Amino acid sequence: MKVSQNWLKSLVEINTSPDDLSEKLSIGGFEVESLVDCSSNVKGVVLGKVLSVVKHDNSEKLSICSVDIGCSNPLQIICGAKNIKPNIHVYVATVGAHLSAINMTIKRSEIRGVLSEGMICSLEELGIEETSEGIAIINEDVASNHSLGTSGTLLLDLDDYIYDLAITANRPDGMSVVGIAREISALLETKLTFPELKTKYQININKKFDLCPGAITNNCLYSICNISSVKGKKLSPQWLKDRLYKSGIKSINLIVDITNYILLEQGQPLHAFDKDRLRTLIGRDVLPEDFSVRKAKDNESLLCLNGVNYDLNENITIVACDDKPVAIAGVIGGLETAVNDDTSSIFLEGAVFNPVTVRKSSKEIGIRTESSSRFEKGISYKNTLDSVTRAINILEEFFNISNPTINTSIELVNTENLIPLRRERIHKLLGPLVIKNDDLNMNLKIEKRNLSDTEITEKLKLIGCTLKNKEYGWDVEVIPNRSQDLLREIDLIEEIARLIGYDMFDLNLPNPIKPGKLTTSQIALRNLKTGFIDIGFNEVLSYSLVPERNNDLIKISNPLLSETSCLRDNIWQEHIKICNQNIKSGQDYCWIFEVGNIFYKQPDLLQEEILNGAIYGKNKFEKWIASSKDNDLNYFEARGKLKEALTILNLKIEDKPTDSIDFLHPGRCAKLFTEGNDIGYFGEIHPKLISNKKSLKKIYLFSIKIKNILKASTRKNKWIPIYSQYPTVPKIDRDINFIFNKKYLVSEIISQIKKSGKKLLENVNLIDIYEDDNFGNEFISYTFRLSYRDLTKTLLDSDIADLHKNIVSIIEDKFSTKLRD
């Protein structure tokens, strides 16, 4: 939002410098993104009068001019403009002036052997116009009111500053000059003067409007007013053009400029339709009830003011006349019914549309206008009719208008929406003020006290609130243009603190201060991340919003783009894209992991936090050890990296082969379990994804359920280290070798041995794997080492003979095998 300081001064008294005001506005919540000094382009430019013009002896195009700028001697200036002549008033750039529009500093110099002591300027060279035909000749009526040598800043009304404000979504009142003026008045505690409504007009409640309930809700309004005896070709006065120009809006004609002026001043968008062009469109005289607001149809289109013909659909809300589209509601008007030079009668529309419908329409056609930005933030319908009245008042200054009638969809009823504000609550939340004073001996005295009732009421009155005294405090009524953000008691308390200054209140820290600490789950998650990073993984972060693929994804209600319209149900697809990007960039490896949320539509919109990752290639550290050209990891090497990263949690994780994960290789994929609970999966990417170019190389993917793995790792027996006394007696090792069917998992066999070994069996390890064609394709040889120990004595062979024989027997029966010699 750009606003001129001179415009603000017509509404509010400003008793501080532009820089200081910028700082106060920024601290108050209206960030000033830039402050532009309008006079910067014309500093050193003054009013001059051309006394004489003589042709240059050495040039056919140049002239030697004698120019009076109010000094004792006239200046000699060389000028090449075709329209230079004696006895005209011009803009003269004196020596030392810098014209930033053309990046030139004026110097005393010789041109074709003749001294030139300045430059006679065009409006283009002054940065006022884009193009100019020759020098600027000042109107004699304007020049006669100023003495020669008067600064160009005054002549061009550029003694002004432009504030470019960033308006947040919760402060729609900042989208109007009146709203900003009220804010300045509250910050500076100065007098505020609003434009008065000179004439009020008849209001007609028209129940015949056909209004879409989704676009015109309870807090919305639609009005239309027929105004005759206007002239579309009449141009705006200079003061109006100047205010629009400094706000970044181009002047078109008086009627359109007034609607734009009200948009800036009051924050209420208005639109003017040409009545005769509407009559041509519908083939008969236009009545107020011919206007309607509805959803567009799929086969409709509308040529808009920007010259673009938009194809409409049911996501776009339109204004129609006799059911024919004439505008996209709240966004942009139609070109075929717009005001032009032949306009003699208009319909002036003033409305408040549902912000949601305006946002959808704006997004659907891909443009955002000054009007739509205001409707999207939300404006009050209680100001609409006054804004229409204000526009007609200005029109009456230029045209002979006969008492128009404003047709509106609803009657405005003065209802009090009071917010209870408790004195005790203010003191409790804000605490005491800290007042620092120096006594007569220059000693600093600090006084602490609560806000007085007078201070509270004065601050709220500065932002337009009306207060009624109550025993507990006050009942507060908020003005309409602040009704969007001042809804609760806490909002009013925040306003009080903001206007007084947060730095004026005492610190209120807990006593005693208790330092925060991480929970065991948070520590475990940090340790888990550290485990991955320590062995060479990089942590990544991907977007949780993805494009719509199917009905399984959860759709968000108001997406900014179709590419970010749904919540993701996996992370592995993004990780494949990251790996592919690294491969295309020539990287030999890519080890990544990410902790994030995924979202399931069934059952009942579930959210789950997981750790996902991808492994491709051998990292650069391993190449010092293995310098072979083969860059791919095999399944067991990749699985070993995951095991190494998870070791920090001190968990025993069991792999169970599976073919139920459709994007992983059916023969090289396993589900991961700990303590009998499913915690995720690990596997090689399915070959079909490589053949379909979804993945450029062989990648290993893994996923860990954060909740399950943290729950297991933070149990007391896992989280708190338990000291075990080092054994003082030796152990006995026995090796056993069996030929098993490959359908049996090593983990199953080890688990069965441990169950059978009772207390004396201390440990079981797989020490050898052997395959032979003589065994057949379905069989494999495993050798296990069993360690026996009794902590109270040294074992003899006779102590474990029966137990060992029993273990062998159980394994033979359970797995249909025989002990090998």
Q: 88-111, pLDDT tens digit by residue?
A: 999 999 999 999 888 899 999 999
Of 40-44, 475-479, 609-613, where does mean pLDDT reach its minimum? 40-44
Give Cβ neighbours of residue 265 (< 8 Å, ≥ 6 apart). 176, 177, 178, 195, 390
Measure Cα distances from 634 to 124, 611, 618, 685, 782 in Å.
71, 22, 10, 12, 21
Task: State residue 603's pLDDT score.
Answer: 73
Residue 283: left (phi > 0), alpha (psi -120 to 50), or beta? Answer: left
The string of pLDDT tens digits covering residues 112-145 is 989 999 999 998 898 888 888 899 999 888 898 8
Task: Please give the backbone phi and psi of residue 470, each rounded to the nearest 5 degrees, phi first.
Answer: -135, 165
Task: State residue 163's pLDDT score.
Answer: 94
Residue 171 above 80 pLDDT? yes
Measure Cα distances from 244 to 213, 239, 313, 489, 750 in Å.
34, 9, 34, 38, 83
Measure Cα distances from 80 to 105, 442, 502 in Å.
18, 68, 60
Task: State residue 440's pLDDT score.
Answer: 58
3-state secondary structure of 801: helix
Task: State residue 265's pLDDT score.
Answer: 95
Task: Please choose, from the candidates 18, 355, 424, 330, the residue with its C-alpha nearest in 3D space to the C-alpha of residue 184.
Answer: 18
Task: Walk across the sheet containing 418-422 and list its strands.
Answer: 418-422, 473-477, 466-469
Task: State residue 558's pLDDT score.
Answer: 81
Task: Walk across the sheet containing 210-211 and list its strands.
Answer: 210-211, 291-295, 317-321, 324-328, 332-333
Secondary structure E strands in 518-637:
538-539, 545-546, 554-555, 566-567, 590-600, 606-616
What is the SS3 string spanning 491-520? Answer: HHHHHHHHHHCHHHECCCCCCCCCCCCCCH
Give Cβ neighbours of residue 494 (< 8 Å, ≥ 6 apart). none
Give Cβ neighbours of residue 363 (< 8 Å, ≥ 6 apart). 560
- Percentage of the chain beyond pLDDT 90 is 71
Residue 688 above 90 pLDDT? yes
Task: Please give the backbone phi and psi of residue 674, each rounded to the nearest 5 degrees, phi first.
Answer: -140, 135
Residue 251 above 60 pLDDT? yes
Other CB atoms closer than 10 Å to residue 547's CB: what's the count? 13
Task: Please give the backbone phi and psi of residue 172, each rounded to the nearest 5 degrees, phi first.
Answer: -65, -20
Task: Read off the pTM.
Answer: 0.69
Task: State residue 438's pLDDT score.
Answer: 67
Of 330-339, 423-432, 582-591, 600-609, where does mean pLDDT reach its minimum? 600-609
- In our burial notation (b when 16+ CB lie closer than 10 A, e otherwise), range 337-359 reads bbbbeebebbbbbbbbbbbbbbb
Residue 625 above 60 pLDDT? no
Question: Cβ-count burial of 740 within 10 angstroms (0-12 exposed, 13-18 middle, 19+ buried)?
Answer: buried
Task: Walk across the sheet containing 732-741 and list its strands.
Answer: 732-741, 779-788, 761-770
Tell me how far apart the alpha carbons of residues 116 and 78 are, in angstroms, rounded to a whole number: 5
Tell me how far apart the alpha carbons of residues 20 and 640 are, in angstroms, rounded to a whole number: 63
Measure Cα distances from 445 to 438, 440, 500 in Å.
6, 11, 20
Give Cβ neighbours of residue 150 (< 8 Å, ≥ 6 apart). 46, 47, 70
Alpha helix stretches (DSSP H) within 604-727: 635-646, 687-691, 706-713, 716-719
Tell me how far apart the alpha carbons of residues 809 and 821 are, in angstroms, rounded to a whole number: 15
Task: State residue 742's pLDDT score.
Answer: 87
Task: State residue 128's pLDDT score.
Answer: 82
Task: State residue 209's pLDDT score.
Answer: 94
Task: State residue 811's pLDDT score.
Answer: 92
Q: Which residues lie across from 43 on neighbouring strands?
A: none
Task: Please choose, from the candidates 208, 210, 409, 410, the residue with its C-alpha nearest in 3D space to the C-alpha of residue 295.
Answer: 210
Q: Which residues lie across from 705 on neighbouring strands?
A: 610
Of 131-145, 261-275, 382-396, where does mean pLDDT reach its minimum? 131-145
The string of pLDDT tens digits covering residues 629-638 is 667 889 999 9
Tell me how far apart the alpha carbons of residues 616 and 699 are, in angstroms, rounded to a whole number: 5
Task: Please choose, from the candidates 140, 155, 149, the residue with its C-alpha nearest in 3D space to the C-alpha of residue 69.
Answer: 149
Q: Is the dihedral of CA 747, 748, 753, 756 positive or negative?
A: positive
Task: Please choose, from the candidates 161, 204, 205, the residue with its C-alpha nearest in 3D space to the C-alpha of residue 184.
Answer: 161
Tokens of 781: 């040889």
The DSSP output letter for 289 is G
Tell me how far apart the alpha carbons of residues 326 and 166 are, in angstroms, rounded to a whole number: 32
Task: Please give the backbone phi and psi of residue 546, each rounded to the nearest 5 degrees, phi first.
Answer: -135, 165
Angle at 52 between CA 49 and CA 58, to 5 degrees: 125
- Percentage of the chain beyond pLDDT 70 is 98
Q: Would you call the peptide bond into 730 cis, given omega within 30 degrees of 0 as the criterion? A: no
Q: Which residues lie across from 405 on neighbouring strands?
A: 202
The pLDDT of 530-550, averaged and rounded, is 92
Query: Cα dihedral angle (179, 184, 185, 188), rounded to 10 degrees?
Result: 170
Tokens of 740: 């098993």
The pLDDT of 422-449, averaged and rounded, is 83
The string of pLDDT tens digits covering residues 732-778 is 999 999 999 988 888 889 989 999 988 899 999 999 999 888 888 88
Tell me how far apart the alpha carbons of residues 295 and 312 are, in angstroms, rounded to a whole number: 9
Residue 621 above 70 pLDDT? no
3-state secondary structure of 264: helix
- In our burial notation (b when 16+ CB lie closer than 10 A, e otherwise), range 42-80 reads bbbbbbbbbeebeebeeeeebbbbbbbbeeeebbbbbbe
Task: State residue 361's pLDDT score.
Answer: 94
The pLDDT of 461-476, averaged and rounded, is 93
Give Cβ neighbours of residue 629 (< 8 Å, ≥ 6 apart). none
- AA identity, residue 462: L
Measure Cα distances from 497 to 29, 479, 506, 608 in Å.
12, 19, 12, 40
Tell me how far apart the alpha carbons of residues 616 and 755 are, in angstroms, rounded to a whole number: 39
The DSSP output letter for 144 is T
Question: Average model confidence (pLDDT) for the chain?
Answer: 91
* The residue to which tokens 């003694």 are assigned: 159
The pLDDT of 205-233, averaged and rounded, is 94
Tell me how far apart the alpha carbons of residues 168 and 1 are, in angstroms, rounded to a whole number: 11
Helix (H) or strand (E) holding 564: none
Task: Please choose, from the candidates 768, 774, 776, the residue with its C-alpha nearest in 3D space to the C-alpha of residue 738.
Answer: 768
Tokens of 648: 């920090």
Task: State residue 503's pLDDT score.
Answer: 86
Looking at the chain, how many residues does it have?
821
